[in-house]
């Protein structure tokens, strides 16, 4: 029996595939390779294509005994989603609904969904609980929340069980050094600061230093990509054991400011990191920190990478050995 991983050639998808292969699971991957990288797939059976391609999906379900799905395939640029909302509704929501339809048709009853902290919008309190209000501030978060709701109704009507994992700031790279973060364009803080360390950028622009935080810069909750990957497997195991549908936050529970991250990168790399204070970026909440108590208690999830320096070290190891990402 196989696990279908959609978006398995993406950043978090490829790290999850690596963990699944390590555990001896049979893995089937579908990825359009629009954002993903063929080289990041360390094993399993790969299909290139789109979730909205009904014929391809039928073929995948017929050729493989798909028992469950881990669904990552999505666009994930918050800014772009504001500029081109329909692209996000189309690619993120409509393709997810197509996937769910195919699961229903082929009798696959378990799905772990890659959701996001962006479903909360401006937090009502810190740390953020799964039960807090969800008011996304951008189409990216809206499409993820809309699919969470579709999952709830699909569970009630068809008995498709789901776990929705709301990630905070995914970062770091696989300990083997074989796979890591390679986005085009790159918008995330840690890889951008590492590009400064590599001399590929002159400086890092800090988006605002007048927030109501200790040093005036935004605070985020950074979580290692392998710890995220492990959480997907625990969530799937729970569903396999007959667990009911659920929603979990995934973060470290600890916040670091942008300035603190830049300083940590200086310490880890030993390089000078020139920094420039820029304007605030639209839509950035001052502080986002998860409560991950629920997943710790219910699924016994425990992050292995608890130190931000260790997390940055894994990312640095990837970036310095792959300065051009997978193109090297």
Binding mask of the shown chain, residues 156 to 175, with x at each position contacting ligand UFG by CB under 6 A: -------------x------
* Ordered DSSP codes for 241-274: TTPPPEEEEE--S--EEHHHHHHHHHHHH-----
Q: Which of 16, 32, 40, 76 binds ligand UFG (CB under 6 A)?
A: 76
Q: Name the closest residue to ligand UFG (Cβ).
A: 218
Is residue 17 part of the contact set for ligand UFG (CB under 6 A)? Answer: no
Q: Is 140 noted as a catalytic residue in this protein? A: yes
Is residue 272 part of the contact set for ligand UFG (CB under 6 A)? Answer: no
Torsion over CA: 144, 150, 152, 154 (sign): negative
Contacts of 8 (CB under 8 A, 6+ apart): 14, 16, 17, 27, 29, 30, 31, 36, 41, 44, 46, 72
- Which is nearer to ligand UFG, 90 or 195 (by Cβ)? 195
Q: How far is the CB of 275 from ligand UFG (least distance, A)?
A: 9
Is residue 289 part of the contact set for ligand UFG (CB under 6 A)? Answer: no
Is residue 308 part of the contact set for ligand UFG (CB under 6 A)? Answer: no
Site for ligand UFG in 105-144 (CB under 6 A): 116-118, 140
- Which is nearer to ligand UFG, 231 or 288 (by Cβ)? 288
Phi, psi of 163 (to 5 degrees): -125, 125
Is residue 98 part of the contact set for ligand UFG (CB under 6 A)? Answer: no
* Residue whose pair of structure tokens reads 């109501």 in the numeric block: 212
Q: Are 110 and 160 in contact (CB under 8 A)?
A: yes
Cα 37 to chain center, whole Å? 15
Phi, psi of 4 (to 5 degrees): -90, 125
Contacts of 220 (CB under 8 A, 6+ apart): 168, 169, 189, 255, 256, 258, 288, 289
Is residue 145 part of the contact set for ligand UFG (CB under 6 A)? Answer: no
Which of 47, 120, 140, 305 is flagged as catalytic? 140
Is residue 205 part of the contact set for ligand UFG (CB under 6 A)? Answer: yes
Q: Tokens standing for 104?
A: 């229903």
Q: Which stretch binds ligand UFG (CB under 6 A): 103-111, 124-132, 281-289, 309-317?
A: 281-289
Residues near ligand UFG (CB under 6 A), total: 21
Chain residues that interact with ligand UFG, rule: CB under 6 A:
76, 78, 116-118, 140, 169, 187-189, 192, 204-207, 218, 220, 258, 281, 284, 288
């Amino acid at each position: 029996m196989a696990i279908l991983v959609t978006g398995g050639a993406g950043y978090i998808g490829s790290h999850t595939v690596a963990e699944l292969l390590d555990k001896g699971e049979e893995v089937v991957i579908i990825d359009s390779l629009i954002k993903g990288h063929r080289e990041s797939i360390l094993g399993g059976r790969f299909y290139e294509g789109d979730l909205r391609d009904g014929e391809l999906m039928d073929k995948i379900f017929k050729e493989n005994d798909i028992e469950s799905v881990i669904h990552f395939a999505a666009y994930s640029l918050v800014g772009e989603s504001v500029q081109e909302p329909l692209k996000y509704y189309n690619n993120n929501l409509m393709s997810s609904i197509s996937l769910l339809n195919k699961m229903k048709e082929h009798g696959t009853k378990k799905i772990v969904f890659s959701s996001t902290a962006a479903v909360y919008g401006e937090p009502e309190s810190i740390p953020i609980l799964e039960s807090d209000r969800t008011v996304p501030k951008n189409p990216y978060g809206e499409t993820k929340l809309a699919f969470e709701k579709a999952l709830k109704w699909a569970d009630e009507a068809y008995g498709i069980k789901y776990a929705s994992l709301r990630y905070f700031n995914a970062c770091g790279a696989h300990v083997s050094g074989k796979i890591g973060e390679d986005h085009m364009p790159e918008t995330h803080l840690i890889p951008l600061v590492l590009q400064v360390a590599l001399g590929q950028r002159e400086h890092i622009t800090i988006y605002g230093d007048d927030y109501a935080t200790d040093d005036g810069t935004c605070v985020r909750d950074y979580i290692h990509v392998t710890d995220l990957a492990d959480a997907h497997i625990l969530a799937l195991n729970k569903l396999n054991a007959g667990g009911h549908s659920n929603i979990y936050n995934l973060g470290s529970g600890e916040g670091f400011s942008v300035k603190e991250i830049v300083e940590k990168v200086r310490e880890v790399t030993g390089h000078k990191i020139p920094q420039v204070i820029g304007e605030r970026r639209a839509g950035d909440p001052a502080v986002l920190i998860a409560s991950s108590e629920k997943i710790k208690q219910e699924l016994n999830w425990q992050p292995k990478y608890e130190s931000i320096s260790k997390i940055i070290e894994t990312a640095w190891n990837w970036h310095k050995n792959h300065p051009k990402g997978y193109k090297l």
